[in-house]
Structure 1
Amino acid sequence: MMPTPTERYLFYCGGSTLFEFELRRISLNEQNPVSTRIYGEAGLSVQAVATDRAADKLYAAVYNPNNDQTTIRRLNYDGTPDGPNDGEVLSFAGDLFGELTLADNKLYWANAVSNTISSVNLDGTGFTVLFDQNDGINMDGGEGPYGIGVDLEVSDDFVYWTEVTDDQVVRGNKDGSGDPTVLFDASDGLAQPYGLEVHNNLLYIADDQLTTGPSLPNDRILVGNKGGTGNLTVLIPAGNGVEQIVDLVLDQATGKLYWANVSGSGSQYSISTANLDGSGISTLLEEVQGVFVLRMAIGD
């Protein structure tokens, strides 16, 4: 008897109402996947999501605009809370305009409002601001709707993030020691880096070729050495399944890239995928009128 394939999911924050984003899920095992709502509450907005693939858990940053408070909650893959107080891990003032990711039993996130990179243990202890404006952090509110211009990843001993205002990709020690290092900037051909992923020794960057804002579908996906050496090269040019990218994720287990597109009118979203060499481009989720897609994560 053939073994049953592992169920794999793509989770994303999306919705039709500003600041009322919900957490949705699509199966990566299906030919024509259907988006399913798994978590959300009226008046609240799920701004970011990360997966703990070893434990089959989700961590969602939920913003309450009524009291300007963000709560990071631990959820099961079906969206039910895991733990007391609806799975609450940590709460803090303000919105999380940025990315949330998990590495080495810690959560890391970038906040484009406070210009900080922070971390916390999965049980909510050990909250630490790793880098802030004193370290030269300049995210400037994300330079776009909902802070989409801030992306963050952790690999080995480093945390990597994008700064759209200064057109650069930056790296710092994940314990917060030392000064951050600019890996790539406008002199390397970066215009507005909106998405970032790290795999093996490479960086994958979703970059908007415009210099005045993401008003047209003119993005491309670039690749470069994660140490910042050498040149950036175009992996997938504009128009090849790439329009305006609002998030980029990489499935480390299967070596697949996924990105969320928005059309030039800003009213249609879709999710596309490709192999790490840029081949095999296809649309995973067809365009859905009027539904925002913000942050994504992979789980199995």
Structure 2
Amino acid sequence: MTRFMLTLLALGMGNAQAAQIVMEDQSQLKVLPASAAAAFSPPAESELPDNAFGKMVREGHALFVDTRRLMPNNVGNGLNCSNCHLDQGRMANSAPLWGAYPMYPAYRKKNDKVNTFAERIQGCFQFSMNGKPPAADSPEMTALSVYAYWLASKAPIGVEMPGRGYPDVPQPAQGYDFGRGEQVYKDQCAVCHGSHGEGQSVANDYVMPPLWGKDSYNWGAGMHRINTATSFIKHNMPLGKPGSLSDQQAWDVAAYINKHERPQDPRLIEGSIEKTRLKFHANDGVNLYGQKVEGVLIGQGTGK
């Protein structure tokens, strides 16, 4: 891989548009039987045609791995798409694009609406990137969608394949513990993400993404859920050593990360954390938004 070998460390991908805060109801889709659970291989760069389509795929790939620099008007933090979808959106169990694209359009029960793939991407910009969603018919959205389509071009439509999303990690009987999580973070995460979750940057470019603070994902992103962050961490982190943490360690460190402040949920209702919690967070997985942790109200936000 030449131009495609830009894999960044990361956390951050989130939900779709404003009211789309829960995992989608995709009961209309087929699930691949266990006997067919062979790993899917997306097409290689060498298979790209030398024409307008191939050019647009490459443009979408560039936007995907260098989002912050190439789309500064749409990204409000220090993240790129590839921070949550590792190996340029190719890696199984890291929400690969080839596992997502064939599942849309999809009905979401929570908002009683069929969502397009473009709407799903827009949500990522609003929440995970803490920015402004590009228009559905913008050149950037077209390029990103074409890149996702190409990665999924050999995949079946409407079939939930192994490796899609971030596989669930059951919560341990002990639950989670912030103190244990802090120790895991110091031992396994701080070397890349900084002792204060600030990430690492060279000049104005992050080479390792921030996990909390003003340049990380906001309180509306899917990764603010402890269970979602746990799944990402368990199957993908530390980089190069996926699966090396126990389930307990993954839950503990995800909870520790997500007890820290980050930009406010852009859906904040009338300036009220409690109203926002009740509408968007009360039934949205395991999360700390609007709760008091060690005497501090979580969800106050850090601003942009």
Shorter-chain TM-score above 0.5 = no
TM-score by length of 1: 0.27
More helix by share: 2
More strand by share: 1
TM-score by length of 2: 0.26
